[in-house]
């Protein structure tokens, strides 16, 4: 799609009209091939697959607590995704995007320092995760650019929060899970992948954090100065 045509791609999507949100949803789905190619004229790099150098997470509960670092994280599958819902909350400066992924893949290196039922666990290794027929909603927000006096502030950062809706199938493989004890690791791998639904309650917040952190970086790197005001018109 030539540059001028892309610039006019959203021209029919008029703000403050009943058809605006569905119009943007349809136009975004048409742009999916550019997730792999990027939009260099707007400073948007390719992000399928997306790469994150390092992502941190901490969790604590009555029976466990952990500090997790994920390094060299790759996330793929955006080009095959389908946006099913797009809504904009102008007063709240928020956009909500719901997507269906037939096949979403993530992999990288992990380092974990945990206490589980009073036992200390410190480990590292490779991991890969596949999510099938997976649905998520991203909430993209940025604080107003004017302060209480009406003056313009430095452009505030964009924040992205992810919330998993459903997932029909999951495959998760974690290397060195039991310190190289092959029989135990194979058994744990079988348990994780054959009885993953109960454990998904614990895994879902990690995926939410992973995707939210990754896409906060994408939007702040690639879309911080994207000319939205010239793309959408009243």
Pairs from 113-120 (Cβ < 8 Å, separation ≥ 24): 113/66, 113/67, 114/64, 114/65, 114/66, 114/67, 114/68, 115/64, 115/65, 115/66, 116/63, 116/64, 116/66, 117/63, 117/64
Handedness of CA 179, 183, 184, 185 (dihedral sign): positive
User: Which pLDDT belongs to residue 133?
Assistant: 93
> Scanning the structure block, which residue is given the tokens 């939007």?
219
User: Which pLDDT belongs to residue 146?
Assistant: 56
Parallel, antiparallel, or unpaired: how do β-strands 64-76 and 82-89 relate? unpaired
Q: Is the pLDDT of residue 122 over 60?
A: yes
Per residue in 71-112, pLDDT (tens digit) is 998 889 989 999 999 998 865 578 899 999 999 999 999 998
* 43-57, 160-174, 209-223: segment of lowest average pLDDT: 209-223
User: Which pLDDT belongs to residue 35?
Assistant: 84
* Domain locations in the chain as residue ranges: 51-226
At 147, the pLDDT band (50, 70, 90 cuts) reads low
CB-based contacts of 129: which residues, under 8 Å, 6+ apart? Answer: 105, 106, 107, 170, 171, 172, 173, 207
Handedness of CA 183, 186, 190, 193 (dihedral sign): positive
What gap in Å lies between CA 212 and CA 49, rounded to an integer?
15
pTM of the model: 0.76
Question: Which CATH superfamily does the domain covering 51-226 fall into?
Answer: TULIP domain (3.15.10.30)
Q: Is the pLDDT of residue 26 over 80?
A: yes
Closest-CA residue to 83 (of 42, 27, 6): 27
Parallel, antiparallel, or unpaired: how do β-strands 119-141 and 82-89 relate? unpaired
Average pLDDT over residues 188-212: 76
Closest-CA residue to 168 (of 103, 118, 124): 103
């Amino acid at each position: 799609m030539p540059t001028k045509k892309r610039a006019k791609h959203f021209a029919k999507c008029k703000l403050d009209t009943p058809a605006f949100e569905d119009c943007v949803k349809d136009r975004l789905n048409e742009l999916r091939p550019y997730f792999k190619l990027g939009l260099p004229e707007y400073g948007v790099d390719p992000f399928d697959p997306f790469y994150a150098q390092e992502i941190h997470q901490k969790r604590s509960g009555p029976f466990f607590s952990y500090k997790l670092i994920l390094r060299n994280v790759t996330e793929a599958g955006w080009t095959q995704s389908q946006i099913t819902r797009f809504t904009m909350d102008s007063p709240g400066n928020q956009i909500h995007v719901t997507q269906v992924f037939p096949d979403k893949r993530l992999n990288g290196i992990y380092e974990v320092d945990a206490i589980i039922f009073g036992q200390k666990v410190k480990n590292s290794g490779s991991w890969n995760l596949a999510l099938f027929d997976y649905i998520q909603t991203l909430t993209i927000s940025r604080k107003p650019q004017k302060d209480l006096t009406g003056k313009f502030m430095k452009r505030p950062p964009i924040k992205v929060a992810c919330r998993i809706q459903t997932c029909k199938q999951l495959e998760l493989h974690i290397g060195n899970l039991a310190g190289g004890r092959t029989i135990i690791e194979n058994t744990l791998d079988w348990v994780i992948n054959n009885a993953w639904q109960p454990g998904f309650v614990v895994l879902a917040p990690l995926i939410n954090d992973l995707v939210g952190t990754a896409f906060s970086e994408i939007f702040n790197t690639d879309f911080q100065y994207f000319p939205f005001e010239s793309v959408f018109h009243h």
